[in-house]
């Protein structure tokens, strides 16, 4: 199994080019199922999850080609089956995103029910009740969601919890439904807006994306288009955290600063100097004192759960005490025990972590338990005295393109072994 060896203590300095957003490209790949003709997605990050989604489409018979710049072109003319099998879904929960488009376009879908996950139970009940409200017949049998519908019908769907992929699935179903759909209590994440923009380019009629009510006037069909993926706000935030935790300075380019308001505000509160341009963010922590900050994760535009673990790592070596509360997932604190192996002073009370900053962490062997936990351990390793070995970095590879190359280029001593 591959791992990272990190020799900490180097303040990072330089420029990092941000990749396309994992959580935006996965729904766009699923949206390709709605398109007549060819659909090309640009600015696609080279990530395990993107490859898994491509395999899922190929398994259905969809033609998928990837060029040397990693632009992905799909054509659904060759589709043979509307089934997403357990073998792939169990490796990536976001596979559930094919359910809405398959049902809307082909009138049927069989998608393995995603199981639990390290960070929480993550049910998909809201996806299913929303599709049922649009007239789908759904049964769950043999571990599969089996859904059928003649043509989906527009409906008013009030989602009981804000769900990102739930909103995306229902949005992709509603675009081909007959009549108007109102998605209430919709997720406002930038990745939802990116999906709506792409669907509109394909010929859909969606308004209100980015607010909590999305209105979709169904259309008869959608065309394949070329679309470039939004920059990854969580990757951006993670590199900015790398500058902050090492007392360095990094400029993230090809970024989307407007998607990171809550995160940038917290970096400033932590004592960093943050400057922003149209598509770049510069964070300078040189000769400044890192201060502990309180974090409360919320749906967008609140502070994202996907940045919680990284700020926890920063708090461990900050001045003062920071209280980190995870409100989205019930089990997203697994990095706490690993950070404590590096000397961090953290008291965990359910979904709340009270972090008392210490002068330095010490390198240790640690184990990644999920994607963002793995990022927090890499950050801790970059700041720690001595050698940190981060094991199970297949989690990292799901969401960070060439992380060791990008970090090495700005001065980090990190090796994949």
Q: Which of 176, 221, 227 is nearest to 73 (CA)?
A: 227
Contact set for ligand EPU, span 22-81 (CB under 6 A) = 23, 26
Q: Are 357 and 319 in contact (CB under 8 A)?
A: yes
Q: Are 359 and 340 in contact (CB under 8 A)?
A: no
Q: How far is the CB of 161 from ligand EPU (least distance, A)?
A: 4
Instruction: Look at the alpha carbons of 72, 99, 207, 194 in this order and tell me if their dihedral is positive or negative.
Output: negative
Q: How far is the CB of 362 from ligand EPU (least distance, A)?
A: 27
SS3 233: helix
Q: How far is the CB of 160 from ligand EPU (least distance, A)?
A: 8
Q: Binding of ligand EPU at residue 211 (CB under 6 A)?
A: no
Among 82, 95, 305, 369, binds ligand EPU (CB under 6 A): 305
Binding mask 238-277 for ligand EPU (x = CB under 6 A): ----------------------------------------
Q: Measure the CA–CA gap between 311 and 330, rounded to whole angstroms.
A: 18
Binding mask 118-157 for ligand EPU (x = CB under 6 A): --x-xxxxxx------------------------------
Q: Binding of ligand EPU at residue 3 (CB under 6 A)?
A: no
Token pair in block for residue 242: 């790398």
Indicate the DSSP class of residue 208.
Answer: -
Distances (CA, A) of 194 to 16, 22, 45, 188, 199: 23, 12, 15, 11, 9
Q: How far is the CB of 37 from ligand EPU (least distance, A)?
A: 26
Question: Contacts with ligand EPU: how many residues (CB under 6 A)?
Answer: 24
The whole-angstrom distance between residue 359's C-alpha and the CA centroid of its chain comes to 32
Q: Binding of ligand EPU at residue 312 (CB under 6 A)?
A: no
SS3 103: helix
- When the beta carbons of 290 and 295 are compared against ligand EPU, the nearer one is 295
In the residue annotation, 83 being an active-site residue is answered as no
Q: Measure the CA–CA gap between 346 and 336, rounded to whole angstroms.
A: 7
Q: How far is the CB of 363 from ligand EPU (least distance, A)?
A: 25
Q: Binding of ligand EPU at residue 378 (CB under 6 A)?
A: no
Q: Binding of ligand EPU at residue 329 (CB under 6 A)?
A: yes
Q: Are 267 and 31 in contact (CB under 8 A)?
A: no
Cα end-to-end span (Å), the chain: 9
Contact set for ligand EPU, span 72-111 (CB under 6 A) = 94
Q: Which residues bind ligand EPU (CB under 6 A)?
A: 23, 26, 94, 120, 122-127, 161, 163-166, 191, 304-306, 328-329, 371-372, 399
Active site positions, annotated: 117
């Amino acid at each position: 199994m591959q791992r990272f060896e990190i020799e900490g203590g180097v303040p990072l300095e330089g420029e990092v080019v941000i990749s396309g957003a994992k959580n935006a490209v996965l729904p766009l790949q699923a949206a390709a199922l709605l398109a007549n003709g060819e659909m090309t997605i640009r600015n696609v990050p080279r990530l395990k999850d993107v490859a898994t989604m491509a395999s899922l489409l190929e398994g259905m018979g969809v033609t998928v080609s990837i060029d040397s710049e990693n632009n992905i072109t799909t054509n659904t003319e060759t589709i043979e089956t509307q089934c997403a099998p357990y073998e792939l879904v169990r490796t990536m929960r976001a596979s559930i995103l094919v359910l809405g488009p398959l049902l809307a376009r082909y009138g049927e879908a069989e998608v393995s029910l995603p199981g639990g996950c390290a960070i929480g139970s993550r049910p998909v009940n809201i996806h299913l009740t929303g599709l049922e409200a649009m007239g789908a017949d759904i049964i769950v049998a043999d571990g599969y969601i089996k859904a059928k519908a003649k043509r989906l019908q527009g409906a008013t769907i009030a989602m009981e919890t804000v769900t990102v992929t739930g909103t995306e699935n229902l949005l992709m179903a509603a675009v081909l439904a007959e009549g108007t759909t109102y998605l209430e209590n919709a997720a406002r994440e930038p990745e939802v807006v990116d999906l709506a923009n792409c669907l509109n380019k394909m010929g859909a009629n969606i308004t209100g994306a980015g607010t909590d009510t999305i209105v979709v006037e169904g259309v008869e069909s959608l065309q394949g288009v070329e679309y470039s993926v939004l920059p990854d706000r969580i990757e951006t935030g993670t590199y900015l955290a790398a500058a902050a935790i090492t007392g360095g300075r990094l400029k993230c380019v090809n970024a989307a600063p407007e998607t990171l308001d809550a995160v940038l505000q917290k970096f400033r509160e932590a004592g960093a100097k943050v400057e922003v341009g149209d598509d770049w963010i510069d964070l300078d922590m040189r000769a400044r004192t890192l201060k502990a900050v309180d974090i409360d994760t919320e749906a967008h535009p609140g502070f994202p759960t996907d940045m919680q673990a990284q700020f926890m790592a920063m708090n461990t070596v900050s001045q003062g005490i920071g209280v980190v509360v995870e409100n989205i997932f019930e089990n997203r604190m697994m990095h706490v025990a690993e950070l404590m192996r590096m000397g961090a002073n953290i008291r965990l009370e359910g979904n709340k972590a009270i972090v008392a900053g210490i002068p330095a962490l010490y390198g240790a062997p640690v184990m990644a338990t999920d994607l963002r936990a793995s990022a927090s351990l890499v950050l801790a390793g970059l700041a720690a005295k001595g050698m940190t070995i981060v094991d199970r970095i297949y989690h990292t590879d799901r969401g960070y393109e060439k992380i060791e190359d990008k970090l090495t280029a700005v001065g980090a001593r990190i090796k994949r072994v």
